[in-house]
Amino acid sequence: MQTRKGQSIEDESMEIIEREVGSHPYNKMEWPIVRRIIHATADFDFAGENKIVFHKDAITSGINALKNGCSIIADVNGVIGGLNKQNPKDFGNNLICNISDPDLAERAKQENKTRAQMSMRIAASEMNGGILVIGNAPTALLEVIKMIREGVTKPALVIGIPVGFVSAAESKEELQTVDVPFITNTGRKGGSSCAASIVNALFKLLREN
């Protein structure tokens, strides 16, 4: 739980963001999410038009899934570490990250996949109606897209915001062609802190609406 001093610092940070950004292209449900990303990264580029891309059903689907106690599946432990743990505790959400599974490397090697890809495959059942949160591995996002197209799984929301130079921007473009709710961004930027901040913002919207 946030201390009074911590809350005052966060409130001041949000006021600075509001003041420095000024007008922006996001609606009243999208903007708290974008603002939370900027707060987590101190990167005002995310406020630009079409920098954060929302599927029309993304926020509603994500909030409803969280409210109903869906699983939250992350590509790396850094995403889990960035979540406010009180939220999943209050709503009964199971946090899943398989990247450190001791058997994962061998299974990935056998199937000629990366560990990130394999970690998505073994979480297929938990993904149904769940929220996928990918902040680090473009291969994980591409694998999820493939799984959705195969009919293996159907998440309530895919948060795909991996950072990097190899396939990061391309995986986000590909996500926008899939018929599932998504939140993503354009370009190479992203990361675990961005991904976690989106989930935290969705929980905050859930509590406020």
Active-site residue, from 39, 51, 55, 189 = 39
Neighbours of 186 (CB within 10 A): 14
pLDDT at 182: 98
Q: Which residue range(s) make up the domain with 108?
A: 49-208
What are the tens digits of pLDDT across the range 25-76? 899 999 999 999 999 999 999 998 779 999 999 999 999 999 999 999 999 9
Active site residue 55: no
Distance in angstroms (rounded) separating the CA atoms of residues 171 and 176: 9
pLDDT at 22: 84
1 lies in some domain: no
User: What CATH number is associated with residue 157?
Assistant: 3.40.50.10230
- Look at the chain and report how many structural domains it folds into: 1
Residue numbers of the chain with a pLDDT score lower than 70: 1-2, 5-6
35 lies in some domain: no
State which amino acid sits at residue 184: T
192 lies in some domain: yes
Name which of 162, 157, 166, 172 is nearest 203 in CA terms: 157
Report helix, strand and coil shares of the chain as percent, to nearest 5. Answer: 55, 10, 35
The pLDDT mean for the chain works out to 93
24 lies in some domain: no
Helix 138-150 / helix 168-175 crossing angle, nearest 10 deg: 30
State pTM to two decimals: 0.93
pLDDT at 65: 98
